[in-house]
A and B are shown apart, each in its own frame.
Chain A
Amino acid sequence: MSVATTITTQDSEPVFHVVDEHDHPEGASTMLGFWIYLMSDCLIFAMLFATYGVLGGNYAAGPAPKDLFDLKLVALNTTMLLLSSITYGFAMLTMEKSRIGQTQLWLAITGLFGLAFLGIELTEFAHMIHEGATPQRSAFLSSFFTLVGTHGLHVTFGLVWLVTLMVQTARFGLTTANRRRLMCLSMFWHFLDVVWIGVFTFVYLLGMLR
């Protein structure tokens, strides 16, 4: 008996890893992967903030933040984004209770707040460009439009994603895949609000103090 066991141990190769890979359910790594995407997006914004920090004072004898920014409009914009964050939170809470109608309603309200944010931002941009404060005017304006414009572009694509998921949810219901997608968009949306904190602080508030 003992001889037989030694033979079998000699025959079988020593194994240093788990042979039977335990089961990975579909989408188990999505949230971590999406988080890492958000962190890389955070690096993009960090570079744009650094660019604005370096070039933000180079007006080239053109308009300065004080001549251009209207803090009341920025405060309104910030309110819109903050409200859209909490309404998306309500959508997630109703999703956990599988109340599809309420989830869709909160998602729609979130989308409307997002649209309002974009509308106000585009109005501001149009007003600035109309006054001659175009991205070509000075390094300050180039870096301003790049930073704030990139954030606005993210919000735009977030809205496209939101509408897509609302259609998906309406057609297929709150399936596991749709819940996972809605959670990813939730992280994306709240992340954009975090970036906006940096924008209104560094660009608008500190710009007015300059």
Chain B
Amino acid sequence: MTQTTETPMVELKGVKKRFGDLEVLKGIDLSVDRGKIISIIGPSGSGKSTLLRSVNNLEVIDEGTILLDGVQVNRPDLKGLAYEKHINHIRQNMGMVFQHFNLFPHLSTLDNVTLAPRKLKGMKASDARALGMELLERVGLADKAQVYPSALSGGQKQRVAIARALAMRPKVMLFDEATSALDPELVEEVNLVMKGLAEEHMTMLIVTHEMTFARDVSDWAMFMDGGVVVEANTPEHLFSHPDQERTQHFLRKHLGAQA
């Protein structure tokens, strides 16, 4: 395969993170190739969300290295404004989707999507509008362009949040439990949008509780517990024949609870 010689899109080496005395990430290594989809599963408190948030430096790691397309994300050597400039630039290349959507309530749906390209890339209003409409179309919400977030359902909010993240043309998309706060009947519409992205070979890192979804879309699945990667494998293997007892236990409990 020629892919192995390519620079990974996202690479983590020996990532450690502490909150006070509690070490939540105890040395994580991970490599995500271009166009691949990695799912991270695990119990709450396992460190999976912290790991995802570390990738775009919403959490500042204590040790290790994070690379985006070969460029180092965490830069302990940079201070103050130099660091700000660096991280703002890096973050423009990563889209992040949050559990609680975090749409901007004072902006219309369309403005939520176009704000970043207009202000950060200096895109012309008409171009931004066209881009915004195209993205809203893609998530099936073009008819809601002028509506404010308060008038949207949870599933619609999350689809707008995805469009907003895509508006910066990111190299990678990070999903932090994107469907966990949704009513069960609204999960599917968000999953469909994510599947659409998968088909377009968007590189994605997905922290999720949706085991079925993770199995269906991922190229690689990771089970985390207690700040370490317990097991990582193809989703077929990890979900059907996990090697580790902790993984088996988690899946049994989780799938049992789902049924």
Q: Do A and B bind each other?
A: no
A residues with a Cβ closer than 8 A to B are none
Residues of chain B at the chain A interface (Cβ within 8 Å): none
